[in-house]
Amino acid sequence: MSAKSWTSSTASGSPRGWPGSSRSGSSRADGPAGPHPYTGWAVALRVGLIGFGYWGPNLARNFGEIRGVSVTAVADRRADRREAVAARHPAVRLFEDPAELIARPDVDAVVVATPVSTHYELGLAALKAGKDVLIEKPLAATGAEAEMLVEVAAREGRVLMVDHTYVYAGAVRKIADLVDTGELGEIRYYDSLRINLGLFQSDVSVMWDLAIHDIALLQYLVRRRFLTVQATGGCHLGEGLESVAHLTLGLDGGAQAHVNVSWISPVKIRQTIIVGDRKMLLYDDLEPDEKIKVYDRGVVFDEDRPALLRDYRIGDMWSPRVDRREALAGVCAHFVQCVQTRARPLTGGPEGVESVRVLEAAQWSLRHAGQLVKL
pLDDT in tens, 311-369: 666 778 999 999 999 999 999 999 999 999 999 999 999 999 999 999 999 999 999 99
Q: Tell me, yes or no, whether 281 lies in a domain.
A: yes
Q: What is the CATH number of the domain that holds 31?
A: 3.40.50.720
284 and 158 fall within a common domain? no
119 and 228 co-located in one domain: no
**pLDDT over 80 at 91, yes or no:** yes
Do 263 and 156 have their domain in common? no
153 and 264 part of one domain: no
Same domain assignment for residues 141 and 125: yes
Phi, psi of 137 (to 5 degrees): -65, 150
Q: What is the pTM of this model?
A: 0.87
Amino acid at residue number 276: G
Instruction: Say if residue 141 is in the same domain as residue 285.
Output: no
Give the per-residue pLDDT at 315: 77
**Lowest-confidence range among 155-159, 172-176, 316-320?**
316-320
Q: What is the pLDDT of residue 203?
A: 86
Q: Give the pLDDT mean for 141-150.
A: 98
Is residue 186 a part of any domain in this protein?
yes
pLDDT greater than 60 at residue 286: yes
Closest CA to 165 of 131, 209, 110: 209
With residue 216 as reference, give the H or E element that holds it. Answer: helix 212-221
What is the spatial distance between Cα 231 and Cα 233, in angstroms, rounded to a whole number? 7
Look at residue 252 and tell me if it is in a domain: yes
For residue 60, the Cα-to-chain-centroid distance in whole angstroms is 19
Q: Do both 336 and 297 map to the same domain?
A: no
Asked if residue 353 belongs to a domain, the reply is no
pLDDT of residue 297: 77
Has residue 269 been placed in a domain? yes
Query: In which region does residue 22 sit, left (phi positive, over 0), alpha (psi from -120 to 50) or beta (all else)?
Result: alpha
How many Å separate Cα 174 from the centre of its chain? Answer: 16
Is residue 300 very low, low, confident or very high in pLDDT (cuts 50, 70, 90)?
Answer: low
* Rounded CA separation 288/282 (Å): 14
pLDDT, mean of residues 208-233: 97
- Is the separation of the CB atoms in 221 and 172 below 8 Å? yes
Same domain, 186 and 148: no
Report yes or no on 255 lying in a domain: yes
Do 242 and 210 share a domain, yes or no? yes
Q: Same domain for 217 and 365?
A: yes
**Residue 237 pLDDT class (50, 70, 90 cuts):** confident
pLDDT tens column, 20-76: 344 543 443 333 233 434 434 445 899 999 999 999 999 999 999 999 999 999 999
Q: How many domains does the chain have?
A: 2
**Which domain CATH number covers 222?**
3.30.360.10
273's CB contacts (< 8 A; 6+ apart) are 189, 190, 191, 192, 280, 281, 282, 283
Coil, helix or strand at residue 335: helix
Q: Is residue 298 part of a domain?
A: yes
Q: In which domain, by residue range, is 370 found? A: 175-324+360-374
Convert the pLDDT of each residue in 114-123 to its tens digit.
999 999 999 9
Average pLDDT, the chain: 89
Does 6 reside within a domain? no
Q: In this structure, which amino acid lies at residue 270?
A: R
Share of the chain above pLDDT 90, in %: 79
150 and 116 within one domain: yes
Whether 252 and 288 map to the same domain: the answer is: yes
β-strands 187-197, 264-276: how paired? antiparallel
